[in-house]
Amino acid sequence: MIVEDEIALAEVVRDYLLVERMHVDMLTSGAGAVELIQAKQYDLVILDLMLPEVDGLTICRELRKASDVPIIMTTAKVEEIDRLLGLEMGADDYLCKPYSPRELVARVRAVLRRRPLGRPAENPATNDRLIIDAGRWQATLDGSQLDLTRREFSLLQALASRPGRVFSRDQLLSLAFPNDTEVFDRTIDSHIRNIRRKIASVSTWDPIRSVYGVGYAYDG
């Protein structure tokens, strides 16, 4: 389901998704969106923030009260994403306009991959390439052990705890280092650089995604 009041954009996105053999419905206003999405049990919702009648924020919150449907939120302002993250509305991904339809399709596929249809969201993927052993502070990628410091381990663990969720640096700080006053939001970046370097030494795959102006996500 695409909820988007820019009809030309919605139609382009719909056409791209049709090529992927997905069934697509569109709504150009927020009115009745919650009821329709719940009634029809969509596999995924692409939800614009600014909508006539009922805005995307309200729709997302209403949906989350009773539904686990994957939601990708789109917004025209990159600053909005930070605010949305702070509100912890439970969307699965956020995308800033203007986006390329190809990018959106890639995100849709990634969200659907992480949330196999008909299974609860919190089920760990069975084909996880990254194995985190919290008891031994060890992370293994594609069978190779990553030589991480404890802080790097905590950070990777926090990111990987919610695949696909975009975390701000502040959120990563409180998740990964709740009692560590020596880590600041800018040091998150250097820890991420180190984790990436260590991952690159054992794999060509980089599961950490930088989200411009916001923070990081783990796309395992």
User: Between residues 5 and 43, which has the closer beta carbon with respect to Ca ion?
Assistant: 5
User: Between residues 73 and 188, which has the closer beta carbon with respect to Ca ion?
Assistant: 73
To Ca ion, the closest distance from the beta carbon of 100 in angstroms equals 17
Output helix, strand, coil percentages for the chain, rounded to the nearest 5. Answer: 40, 20, 40
To Ca ion, the closest distance from the beta carbon of 55 in angstroms equals 9
User: Between residues 4 and 93, which has the closer beta carbon with respect to Ca ion?
Assistant: 4
User: Between residues 8 and 66, which has the closer beta carbon with respect to Ca ion?
Assistant: 8
Taking CA atoms, 180 is separated from 38, 177, 218, in Å, by: 42, 5, 22
The closest alpha carbon to 69, from 36, 101, 105, 28, belongs to: 36
Which one-letter amino acid corresponds to residue 101? P
For residue 124, the 8-state DSSP code is P
User: Between residues 61 and 193, which has the closer beta carbon with respect to Ca ion?
Assistant: 61
To Ca ion, the closest distance from the beta carbon of 2 in angstroms equals 11
Applying CB under 5 A, the residues found at the interface with Ca ion are 5, 48, 50
To Ca ion, the closest distance from the beta carbon of 56 in angstroms equals 8
To Ca ion, the closest distance from the beta carbon of 48 in angstroms equals 4
For residue 96, give both structure tokens.
């800033």
To Ca ion, the closest distance from the beta carbon of 59 in angstroms equals 12
User: Between residues 49 and 108, which has the closer beta carbon with respect to Ca ion?
Assistant: 49
Q: Which residues of 36-53 are buried (b: 16+ CB within 10 A; e: fewer)?
A: ebeeeebebbbbbbbbee
Instruction: Answer positive or negative: Cα dihedral of 112, 118, 122, 124.
Output: negative
Q: Tell me which residue has its CB nearest to Ca ion.
A: 50
Which one-letter amino acid corresponds to residue 67? S
Contact partners, residue 7, CB within 8 Å, separation at least 6:
28
